[in-house]
Amino acid sequence: MTSPDKPPFYITTAITYPNGVPHIGHAYEYIATDAMARFKRLDGYDVMFLTGTDEHGMKIAQAAEKEGITPKELVDRNAEIYKAAHAALGISYDRFIRTTDADHYAASQAIWKKMEARGDIYLSKYEGWYSVRDEAYYTEDETVLKDDGVRYSLGTDTEVTWTAEESYFFRLSAYQDKLLALYEEQPEFGAPQYRFNEVISFVKQGLQDLSISRTTFDWGVPVPGNDKHVMYVWVDALTNYLTGVGYPDAGSEAFRKFWPADVHIIGKDISRFHAIFWPAFLMSAGLELPKRVMIHGFLTNNGVKMSKSLGNVVAPKDFVEQYGLDQVRFFFLREVPFGADGSYNHEAIVGRMNADLANNFGNLAQRSLSMVAKNCEGKVPVPGEFSAEDSALLAQAGGLLEVARAAFEKQEFSRALEAIWAVLGDTNAYFAEQAPWVLRKTDVERMNTVLYVTLEVVRIVAILAQPVMPTSAAKLLEVLGQPEGEARQFAAIATPIVAGTELPAPAPIFPRYEEPAES
């Protein structure tokens, strides 16, 4: 059901190949997308958040063969593992799409027929260096023969083999000028700029037609009218973004409301698929284009690429168990400017947990709330007249929504969090300087004012922290006497906390990380 009175916002993650197990890189993408979706919901939008699994293609077929099971058995089993990872990470998706879902076959065949009707699909023969890992063909000069006698793709360092087959082609070459015009007219179509520039220069070098069907295996969506062929997995994979909102029923309520997507969140290794192939397919099919493709960087474990052979692949679930879910979500979004590559290690996570969360935020909340519990009968105190410092701090906190909005609009999560935490820093300094525990003996009215101002900042920060740390922020809003619903929406930021509000007993929200005792 869609809400007619709210503006729509449609956001997607890449859909993951379910041939292995989810790692922190996947988790990072889910968390960022989830924070964005939650932000928009709290800001009054009707959000559609799509994620899922990309279940066709040779890579999946080969993984199944290795295990001696059918591809469908493999993806049925593994889709559940990915769903469990989403649950462990608190991902608030609206639909988990699987490309083996029946409606997705219909959508993929429908877009194929549209592209065919446009005259953009023709049958020919393909020869080239094929990488199963990347599900992509490379030209000779995009590959290198290494000392082990095996040929690898230069860009992705995956093994390639010479493959020749009859194939349908998509006239990608006909879209070069149209794509360049799109990038020109919509400079925010791809972001961040430095990653989008790579895409633009690739297109400027000239585009070749794209092989879009396979005959060497049958694990895919059948090509309409020619059962010998299945679609190249990227044709059906990209189409998931349409299926998720009701395509091919272009007249459906969901499609009319949510298409085109507001933003596709993807990693840097798949930017060409999203910023070149995808808009070209959509133009060919006569469909509107997504507004933005946001390309994030790769995470490395202390600077080292995650790989099974190195044994440094961390399961998101283990991470969450060690540090706590909200702590992990905060760490990645605060630590790594979205778009850039990032590295994580134990010390960095513990640093953020203890400095930003336990000290800056948790202590401030706990100290002000316990003073209110002890000295103000557990009610939000009535403030006296505001001093210049009080008003300045309240204005700073009140202005955070605009700052956060501007940053989230561009998926600059770390910038939003940095600004929020700067206000927390100022509030800590204010609290120390005003010393309400001294005022308690000298000037109770002033103590009340200082506590009121502090609670008000904590309330605003807790509301704004919800997209990133939903559970902790909810607990904090609970002890601030802010019930679920309207009081926690961004619109409520403008309405100050009400003096006299009864507050439940305060409870610490952000524990310090203590190293487990050596056994």
* Residues binding ligand ME8 (CB under 6 A): 14-17, 25-26, 28-29, 54, 237-238, 240, 266-267, 269-270, 298-299, 306
CA distances from 301 to 1, 112, 201, 306, 345 (A): 41, 40, 30, 6, 6
Instruction: Give buried/exposed letters for 479-508 (b at 16+ CB in 10 A, else e).
Output: bbbbeeeebbebebbeebbeeeeebeebee
Residues in CB range of 140: below 8 A, 6 or more apart: 129
Q: Which is nearer to ligand ME8, 50 or 353 (CB)?
A: 50
The gap from C-alpha 125 to its chain's centroid, in whole angstroms, comes to: 38
Residue nearest to ligand ME8 (CB): 267
CA distances from 44 to 8, 77, 404 (A): 9, 37, 15
| Integer Cα distance of 291 and 185 in angstroms | 12
CB atoms within 10 A of CB 318: 11
Q: Which is nearer to ligand ME8, 298 or 386 (CB)?
A: 298
CB atoms within 10 A of CB 268: 15
Q: Which is nearer to ligand ME8, 271 or 428 (CB)?
A: 271
In 3D, which of 178, 198, 395, 412 has the Cα closest to residue 289? 178
Q: Which is nearer to ligand ME8, 9 or 17 (CB)?
A: 17
Q: Which is nearer to ligand ME8, 136 or 460 (CB)?
A: 136
Q: Which is nearer to ligand ME8, 269 or 443 (CB)?
A: 269
For the bound state, the minimum distance from the C-beta of residue 298 to ligand ME8, rounded and expressed in Å, comes to: 4
For the bound state, the minimum distance from the C-beta of residue 12 to ligand ME8, rounded and expressed in Å, comes to: 8
For the bound state, the minimum distance from the C-beta of residue 455 to ligand ME8, rounded and expressed in Å, comes to: 38
| Integer Cα distance of 65 and 305 in angstroms | 27
For the bound state, the minimum distance from the C-beta of residue 112 to ligand ME8, rounded and expressed in Å, comes to: 16
Q: Following DSSP, what letter does each residue of 350-385 receive, concatenated?
A: HHHIIIIIIIIIIIHHHHHHHHHHHHSTTBPPPP-S
Q: Which is nearer to ligand ME8, 54 or 412 (CB)?
A: 54
* Residue count of the chain: 519
For the bound state, the minimum distance from the C-beta of residue 28 to ligand ME8, rounded and expressed in Å, comes to: 5
For the bound state, the minimum distance from the C-beta of residue 33 to ligand ME8, rounded and expressed in Å, comes to: 10
Crossing angle for the helix pair 470-479 and 364-375, nearest 10 degrees? Answer: 20
Residues forming beta bridges with residue 53, ordered by sequence position: 16, 98
For the bound state, the minimum distance from the C-beta of residue 179 to ligand ME8, rounded and expressed in Å, comes to: 18
In 3D, which of 388, 506, 391 has the Cα closest to residue 457? 391
Whether 273 and 172 have beta carbons less than 8 Å apart is answered as: no
Q: Which is nearer to ligand ME8, 94 or 269 (CB)?
A: 269
Q: Which is nearer to ligand ME8, 99 or 163 (CB)?
A: 99
For the bound state, the minimum distance from the C-beta of residue 514 to ligand ME8, rounded and expressed in Å, comes to: 29
Q: Which is nearer to ligand ME8, 269 or 409 (CB)?
A: 269
For the bound state, the minimum distance from the C-beta of residue 517 to ligand ME8, rounded and expressed in Å, comes to: 32
For the bound state, the minimum distance from the C-beta of residue 29 to ligand ME8, rounded and expressed in Å, comes to: 5
Q: Is 33 left (phi over 0), alpha (psi -120 to 50) or beta?
A: alpha
Crossing angle for the helix pair 278-285 and 233-243, nearest 10 degrees? Answer: 70
